[in-house]
Amino acid sequence: MADLIRMTATQIVDGLRQGDITPLDCLDALERRVGEVNGPVNALPTLCFDRARKHARVLMDRPVSERGALAGLPVPIKDLTDVAGVRCTQGSPIFKNRVAETSDLVVTHLEDNGGVIYAMSNTPEFGAGAHTFNEVFGVTRNPWNTALSASGSSGGAAVALATGMAWVAHGSDLGGSLRNPASFCGVVGMRPSPGRVAASVFSKIDSTLGVEGPMARNVEDVALLFDAMVGEEPADPLSLPSDGTSYLKAARSGWKPKRVAVSRDLGLPPVDPRVAGLVMASARKLEAEGVVVEEAHPDLRETRECAQTLRALSYANMKPLLDSHRSLLKPEVVWNIEKGLTLTAVEIARAEAQRGDMFRRMRSFFDTYDLLLCPTTIVPPFPVEQRYVTACDGVKLDTYVDWLMIVHAITLTASPAISIPCGFTADHLPVGLQIVAPGRGEAKLLAGARFIEKVLGLGPITPIDPRP
């Protein structure tokens, strides 16, 4: 069991295809590991192993060649996304006893491609904020130091990966929610381009801010899961058809960037000097490999105003919940809904224009550079009792999302981005390097990230047992 837990996802899938292991073996190993380590970190509050085993047995009745890209690999789903027959709460007391009747498109797509769903990973209430705590299940703790935050909003997913309770994990990202927890927990999280991964449509059918995406312990495993997530679904009008690209093959291609840009802060300070130092040191290691490295970034000065406006606009559709359950909503969510409800047409139009300008500048920037490197988060993991980052490097931050502007900026440009571990602080806390590629350039992003991962040479730093 312990040997299985420490294998990579690609090794597990190879074993499943060769018949050396079965999906039931994987589920047995995970159930045992969850029993051993989930208590101190609270990453997977809802388990559905009976459902998973039933699905696994159906899958095992098929020939191996017909079991999909994942071949029976277990996958946890973030508790913002419905799984039929499973308790799905969105981290909200309003829905604490809700059992989903149908599955989200992203779940059915994964299951059709051989994924086996066995757990729901913890998330902040409605995914709001980059610290994973809620009134239903409590706080998810960082396994590198359980007194610290795992970030979020895909915090449960990142911790499950870091502690060996998952080989791969589903997550979602609007303001860095796949990237932030990857940085804090020493794993890998990728935000794809809008449309790459189909998901069920709710209020706004053409939203390009929030996306679904993959997490894993290394770049190749992220690519493996991404291959099982991409593709068109008619029920998602923005979903893109697959062009036949194997992202796992892309990650393994050996492609090496010729010229990369690196920025300490994307022109959006503050950034903790410990984080900036590790990011700059990582970039300089590429020079020894013959890569041209230059300090540069596109002009993204409108990020804070644009992000605050468009984020608030996305929360305005929660007015019915504000009217009927205000007392059950956390104050940050109330603030975001109310801000969204007071926006004027002029403010919304200005934000959309700003986003268009930043999008065009980013596309022009990649005429010169293959990739852009910068910090994923502006601080290392912070105390678990703190709701969000209120100050950094002597600069006061006003709202619960101000500390996320370095990831929000990339969201606004519709660029794919990935966070990989790039080193540790003096007190051995992981720090993430954010790597950005041109729009719809996931193949280049994954290949470049795998190259950088090798250059940094950190090796398999997870899974770990939780550390008090």
200-252 residue pLDDT tens: 998 889 999 999 999 999 999 999 999 999 999 999 999 999 999 999 999 99
Reply yes or no on whether the pLDDT at 199 is more than 80.
Answer: yes
Flag whether 308 is in a domain.
Answer: yes
- The DSSP secondary structure of 256-306, one letter per residue, reads --SEEEE-SSTT-----HHHHHHHHHHHHHHHTTT-EEEE-----TTHHHH
Residue 264 inside a domain? The answer is: yes
- Is 461 contained in some domain? no
Distances (CA, A) of 262 to 54, 191, 376, 431, 437: 48, 19, 12, 16, 12
Q: Element (H or E) spanning 170, and its range?
A: strand 168-173
Instruction: Count structural domains, the chain.
Output: 1
Determine the 3-state secondary structure of 130 from DSSP: coil
pLDDT on residue 20: 96
In this model, does residue 1 exceed pLDDT 80? no
Residue 368 lies in a domain: yes
Question: What is the distance between the alpha carbons of residues 18 and 21, in angstroms, rounded to a whole number?
Answer: 8
Is residue 389 very low, low, confident or very high in pLDDT (cuts 50, 70, 90)? Answer: very high
3-state helix, strand, coil in the chain (%, to 5): 40, 15, 45
The pLDDT tens digits for 321-364 are 999 999 999 999 999 999 999 999 999 999 999 999 999 999 99
Query: Residues 30-48: what's their mean pLDDT?
Result: 98
- The pLDDT, as a whole number, for residue 273 is 98
The total number of residues written for the chain in this structure = 468
Domain assignment of residue 462, yes or no: no
pLDDT class of 2 with cuts at 50, 70, 90: confident
Q: Which of 140-149, 195-204, 212-221 has the lowest mean pLDDT?
A: 195-204
Q: Is the pLDDT of residue 368 over 80?
A: yes
We report the CATH number of the domain holding residue 245 as 3.90.1300.10
CA atoms within 13 A on the CB side of 23: 29
User: Is residue 463 assigned to a domain?
Assistant: no
Cα Rg for the chain, rounded, in angstroms? 20
Say what the pLDDT of residue 318 is.
97
Instruction: Kindly report the number of other CB atoms within 10 A of residue 255's CB atom.
Output: 16
Residue 13 lies in a domain: yes
The pLDDT of 281-301, averaged and rounded, is 97
* pLDDT value of position 449: 98
Q: What is the pLDDT of residue 203?
A: 84
Mean pLDDT of 27-51: 98
Closest listed residue to residue 211, CA positions, set 252, 240, 168, 184: 240
Q: Which amino acid is at 410?
A: I
| Parent domain of 439 | 2-456
Q: What is the mean pLDDT of the chain?
A: 98
- How far is the C-alpha of 166 from the C-alpha of 379, rounded, in Å? 26
Is the C-alpha dihedral spanning 168, 172, 174, 177 positive or negative? negative
Q: What pLDDT sits at residue 232?
A: 97
**What is the DSSP secondary structure assignment for residue 87, as one 8-state letter?**
B
Position 465 in a domain: no
pLDDT in tens, 62-91: 999 999 999 999 999 999 999 999 999 999
Phi, psi of 13 (to 5 degrees): -65, -40
Give the whole-number percent of the chain exceeding pLDDT 90.
99
